[in-house]
Structure 1
Amino acid sequence: MRGRTTRVGRVFHPGEDGYDAERTGFNLAVDHRPAYVVSAAGSEDIVRAVGQAVDRGLAVGVLATGHGASVAAGPDAVLITTRRMTDVTVDPGARTARVSAGARWEHVIEACAPHGLAPLSGSSPHVGAVGYTLGGGAGLLGRRYGFAADHVHGLDLVTADARPRTVTADTAPALFWALRGAGKGNFGVVTAMEIALFPIARLYGGGLYFPAEACADALHAWAAWTGSGDLPDEMASSVLLMTYPDVPWVPAPLRGRHVTHVRVAWSGPPAEAEPLLAPLRAVGHPLLDTISELPYREVGSIHHEPTEAAAAQDRGSLLTGLPPAAVDAVLAGAGPAARAPFVAELRHFGGAYARPPRVPNAVGHRSAAFSLYTGADPAAGAAADALHEAVRPWGTGGAFVNFLGVGDAEAARLSTAFAPEDYTRLTELKRTYDPENVFRVNHNIPPSGTPVP
């Protein structure tokens, strides 16, 4: 797994040109101000950075794209940025890809497309592939194939002793278990991963954008459709509720309007898609209908998520189901009458997500049927919190690591992402591989025996 590089990284100190740009990620709600930033060009830079941080008594944080916000690195920490490590190597015969630490999904998708292959990427190609996968990874092929973490073959890792390791099910089975689902910065710095690819060249997908007056009908129809148990695993879908700003970059039919955006992605034979979509199309006349056959390299057009940096208070809940009363709770909190100052998204889980992987990992709450995600300006976080409280009767009581936000830094909150016995095992592994909790600039798993504030 280990590659070689002759590139040399850079170090940025406060006040120097480039420091502010290097410490800033996609989510501007996280204001990193570390003692210094190491811009890594290869694994050797990361080995040196971790060793020097430990020698100086500094914590270590990692920043690739900064989509998965957690806690800010302060003056007692060094921040390692991996955004320049974007190499992707595809083995079409083995249907695998080696992905470097800073590669975005768009880099991986483009490298795979000429071979008719696809990774288990997220809904946004702009997101970092490694962090997404270490947090579980739930994308548009997940109901068919499972979590992205289920299909990792190996990981290159720099641990707290500044040693590079290749971690697989054979070389370090316990650590391999932990990294896949709970490895976002807690057990070391992942410098590369090897993942499985799948023979998906095209999808049938896109969005139905319904106006405010059709919101209730559309959301109830989608909940009944997904909750019926009749959908094949090849059908992925979600719904976004939001009020679009009245600005030129928004398509004219959506400007200034509350929209119910139903997104679908069918990875089976295209001819079989439209009969399955009939209950959604029966809702009424959408403002826009973008559903069509498209190459997988255009998968990002389905959710059409923003790519410009912004400050966001993210939060996620997992749901056991979405009965009519739960739909009404979502409508009351995020429907057009609520004038909600945030976006709300429901995703359909089930299918392969619920099935255990061939090689066990730390991903929790596989029985969840849906997720509820909210993204708000930090000043409007309380309004979004109220929606999560309203759906609590249908919640699993757990969280999904990739949907934890800047307000979820407490260990008690992170622990809900795992079964209790798995969380205990994770703290014990943390004590083995990082007893001083060097890697704590994250949603932190403390070493067992450590007092929790």
Structure 2
Amino acid sequence: MTVADAAPMPAGPGEPGFAEAVHVFNSLAVPEPAAATTARTVEQVRSAIHHAARRGLAVRVHSTGHGAAAARPVRGALLIRTALDGAVEIDPRARVARVPAGTRWESVVRAAEPHGLTAAHGSSGTVGVVGYALAGGLSPYGRMVGLAANTVRAVDLVTADGRHRRVDAESDPELFWALRGGGGGFGVVTAIEFDLFPATTVITGAAYWPGALADRLLAAWLDWARDAPVIATTSVRVMNLPDFPDVPRELAGRTTFAVDGVVHADDPVSARRCADDLLGPLRAIGAPLLDSWQPDRPSAVLLAHMDPADPLPILGDHLLLDDLDAGGAARFLDVLGEGSGSPLVGAGLRQLGGAYATPSAPGGALDRLAAAYSYAGSGLAADPDAAAALRAHCATVRTALAPWDTGRVVPSFVEDFEQPQGHLDAERAAAVERVRAGVDPDGLFRQDASPTTTRQEKVP
């Protein structure tokens, strides 16, 4: 082991290195572990695990910290922040990318683009690749390629016994199955490899209308979405953007209704027809306040959703919903539309179906979604009063949408550990737990696992 590989001693609160290691994107959920360290090499990961085992500390893991609020409380544990050294590696012939843990999606998209390739990335380039992909991963290309977890081809991780393993379908099929959507708690992932797919041109962007048109726009979008080609994956959102300097003047301080997404355009004729079928009827309802939909490079997809680039105090909720009829659409707007009093900055529906529901081949523990839409809504919890208002309104929305709630979630979309979670049925959750117990018999990583079943469907 070289000097460079030597692990820094985990730091306690207030000590050098602690603040860097506990940094998260959701500033409402900064973890409070007993100790924390940032690992940049496999040896540093291994050393940190041994340190925790010797002192009887549970081990928790994160990288960018986008999902911090959905994780179990971290108190009394050793937190390992993974920021492994190394660059994105693209194999254009095999259409495979390999990335070290801690890599963000923007780096992958920009590395793959010169080769005419892209990945099943999320809507934000600041999100970490590993946590997103292994927790399912809803991509703007998802109706065409399925969950990002299905694209993962190999996972490197250090397990509780200190072994650094390369896990794939041949070397350890059970662990490979559980890693892809099983909820974590198997070890510290140090790298993953995943499939890329061809993409040279897309039609992407976002259009915003006055909130008063939301009922007609939502009805038109829902009608289009039910039979939309799988080359398109889109979202609608009710936006209440604050009057901040970096918010476009046309949208600041008012309620708007947005339609954004991507149409894969390597077949330009089919793509243009699809985009026109979506946007034509919407533009006929009323002129957008802003409209950025246009043909562009794949990297432009990262800008369409206008996700924030800097940490914020975020609180929200997430559901997977069955198809919304007219009554469901009305309930959605009753609690979220203009005049509802909603404190949520953004609340919307992501289009599912296609390869989300019927992947081309079976994948991991979570490989498909039996739902029509993903609902997510969040706001800024700038102070305790704002947080209380957000929690109350999230409960109101959950009650309103209960008739369409499937009872399932996508782990990477959960915003609060106290809210209902569960993405696997009891049989799959029990199978995952058997794998987890086999790889970590002493439960060193057990608290790092997310809940996999609903509160009404606990694993025996």
Same fold by TM-score, threshold 0.5 exceeded?
yes
The Cα offsets for residues 193-235 of structure 1, whole Å up to 9 and x where unpaired, read as: 01001111221011110112111111121111112x2x11001
Residue 154 of structure 2 corresponds to 154
Match of 1:240 among 211, 220, 237: 237
SS in 2 for 1:144: helix
Residue 360 of structure 1 corresponds to 363
Q: Is the aligned partner of 1:421 residue 2:418? A: no
The Cα offsets for residues 245-273 of structure 1, whole Å up to 9 and x where unpaired, read as: 11221111111110111103100334432
Distance change (3 Å), C-alpha of 1:74 and 1:153: closer
- Mapped partners of 1:30, 1:52: distance in 2: 25
Q: Is the aligned partner of 1:393 residue 2:403? A: yes
- Mapped partners of 1:431, 1:51: distance in 2: 19
SS in 1 for 2:376: strand
Distance change (3 Å), C-alpha of 1:159 and 1:18: closer
How far apart are residue 29 of structure 1 and its match? 2.1
How far apart are residue 441 of structure 1 and its match? 3.5
- Mapped partners of 1:260, 1:113: distance in 2: 31
Contact between 2:119 and 2:195, CA under 8 Å: does it hold in 1? yes
The Cα offsets for residues 83-107 of structure 1, whole Å up to 9 and x where unpaired, read as: 3546211111111010111000011
How far apart are residue 74 of structure 1 and its match? 3.9
Residue 177 of structure 2 corresponds to 177
Residue 225 of structure 1 corresponds to 224
How far apart are residue 280 of structure 1 and its match? 2.4
SS in 2 for 1:98: strand
- Mapped partners of 2:191, 2:55: distance in 1: 26
How far apart are residue 68 of structure 1 and its match? 1.5
Match of 1:441 among 425, 442, 448: 448
SS in 2 for 1:321: coil
- Mapped partners of 1:79, 1:324: distance in 2: 47
* Aligned ranges 1:21-420 → 2 under 5 Å: 21-69=20-68, 70-71=70-71, 74-83=74-83, 85=85, 87-183=87-183, 185-227=184-226, 229=227, 231-268=228-265, 269-271=267-269, 272-273=271-272, 274-277=275-278, 278-342=280-344, 343-363=346-366, 366-376=369-379, 377=381, 378-379=387-388, 380-408=390-418, 413-414=420-421, 416-420=422-426
- Mapped partners of 1:433, 1:406: distance in 2: 28
Distance change (3 Å), C-alpha of 1:357 and 1:42: farther
SS in 2 for 1:336: coil
Gaps of 5+ in 2: 382-386
> Counterpart amino acid of 1:19?
F
Contact between 1:32 and 1:72, CA under 8 Å: does it hold in 2? no
Distance change (3 Å), C-alpha of 1:5 and 1:392: farther
- Mapped partners of 2:74, 2:154: distance in 1: 31
SS in 2 for 1:181: coil
- Mapped partners of 1:434, 1:295: distance in 2: 44
Contact between 2:149 and 2:367, CA under 8 Å: does it hold in 1? no
Contact between 1:50 and 1:162, CA under 8 Å: does it hold in 2? yes
Contact between 1:156 and 1:167, CA under 8 Å: does it hold in 2? yes
- Mapped partners of 1:9, 1:108: distance in 2: 27
Distance change (3 Å), C-alpha of 1:159 and 1:214: same
- Mapped partners of 1:9, 1:107: distance in 2: 26
Moved more, 60-69 or 426-435: 426-435
- Mapped partners of 2:92, 2:368: distance in 1: 33
Consecutive aligned runs of 4 or more in structure 1 exceeding 6 Å deviation? none
- Mapped partners of 1:319, 1:5: distance in 2: 52
How far apart are residue 6 of structure 1 and its match? 5.0
Gaps of 5+ in 1: none
- Mapped partners of 2:187, 2:167: distance in 1: 11
How far apart are residue 9 of structure 1 and its match? 5.0
- Mapped partners of 1:367, 1:294: distance in 2: 31
- Mapped partners of 2:437, 2:88: distance in 1: 33
Contact between 1:64 and 1:102, CA under 8 Å: does it hold in 2? yes
- Mapped partners of 2:229, 2:6: distance in 1: 49
SS in 2 for 1:182: coil
Residue 384 of structure 2 corresponds to none
Contact between 1:50 and 1:60, CA under 8 Å: does it hold in 2? yes
Contact between 2:136 and 2:148, CA under 8 Å: does it hold in 1? yes
**RMSD across aligned positions (CA):** 2.2
> Counterpart amino acid of 2:253?
G
Q: Percent identity?
A: 36
- Mapped partners of 1:237, 1:349: distance in 2: 9
How far apart are residue 358 of structure 1 and its match? 2.4
How far apart are residue 276 of structure 1 and its match? 2.1
SS in 1 for 2:28: coil
The Cα offsets for residues 160-198 of structure 1, whole Å up to 9 and x where unpaired, read as: 222111111111111111111124x31111110010011
Distance change (3 Å), C-alpha of 1:441 and 1:30: farther
Distance change (3 Å), C-alpha of 1:8 and 1:237: farther
